[in-house]
Amino acid sequence: MPEADAAALARLASRRSVKAQQLHEPGPDDATLRRMLEIAMRVPDHGKLTPWRFIVFRGDAGAQAGEAIAALFAEKNPDADEKRLEEERGRLARAPLVIGVVSTAAPHAKIPEFEQLLSAGNAAMLTVMAAHALGFAAHWVTEWISYDEDAGRILGLQPGERFVGFVHIGTPTVPPVDRPRPALEDVVEYWRPAGT
Ligand SMILES: Cc1cc2nc3c(=O)[nH]c(=O)nc-3n(C[C@H](O)[C@H](O)[C@H](O)COP(=O)(O)O)c2cc1C
């Protein structure tokens, strides 16, 4: 058997999400953010196409983006009340750091777009894991801004790109609580030829 890394395994096994609104300062500093992104970029990538990129919201950027998103929401939902608009203003400023993970998947002669999208999704997951390994907590959310083209443009998408989500990162204000996980037996099957 290869030698196991007990500390790394314990970290992997203990990951759980903490809601964006429960993530506070301190967030990662510049060096830690770079490290996190370097880890995220270790994602498998069929064809080495780099079919993803990251848009970072931190400091004033989160609140500024939120202002623009709230204005867009008001335009699309003229009946929205002030409480909801306030929520929109804070959408990218709940946690100290938000990393928008972008899929740049595009038609390719050999590599299906599906695989490129999976690579971007896994870059998001590695961002979550890196945050956890560095002692922070994270919440990967999509919310409406991942599905609205106008919101995408405001948040920096180029034509053809889409967000696979926004990873909110910070220090939890409450002890993380786990959720029930499925039983291994319910989701794992050992394949055998039919009829055996
Ligand atoms: C692609 C994707 C999108 C998600 N979008 C949201 C979301 O918009 N809002 C939300 O509350 N959770 C969302 N989640 C779920 C959370 O990231 C998280 O997995 C969930 O709260 C369960 O917690 P756990 O990670 O500890 O299992 C999303 C997860 C994935 C994979």
- Residue-wise pLDDT for 28-66, tens only, equals 999 999 999 999 999 999 999 999 999 999 999 999 999
Is the CB of residue 68 below 6 angstroms from any atom belonging to ligand 1? Answer: no
Closest approach atom of ligand 1 to CA 121: 1
Task: Please answer whether residues 165 and 146 qualify as being in contact, where contact means their C-beta atoms are separated by less than 8 angstroms.
Answer: yes
Report pTM.
0.97
pLDDT-above-90 percentage for the chain: 96
Give the model's pLDDT for residue 176: 85
Closest residue by Cα to atom 19, ligand 1, is: 17
Atom of ligand 1 nearest to the CA of 125: 31
What's the rounded Cα separation, in Å, for the pair 137 and 22? 10
| N- to C-terminal Cα separation, the chain | 30
pLDDT digits (tens, 9 = 90+) for 141-156: 999 999 999 999 999 9
Q: 79-106, pLDDT tens digit by residue?
A: 999 999 999 999 999 999 999 999 999 9
Residue 164, φ and ψ in degrees, nearest 5: -90, -10
CB 68 within 8 A of CB 89: no
Burial class of residue 87 (count of CB atoms within 10 Å of its CB; 0-12, 13-18, 19+): middle
Cis peptide before 172 (omega within 30 of 0): no
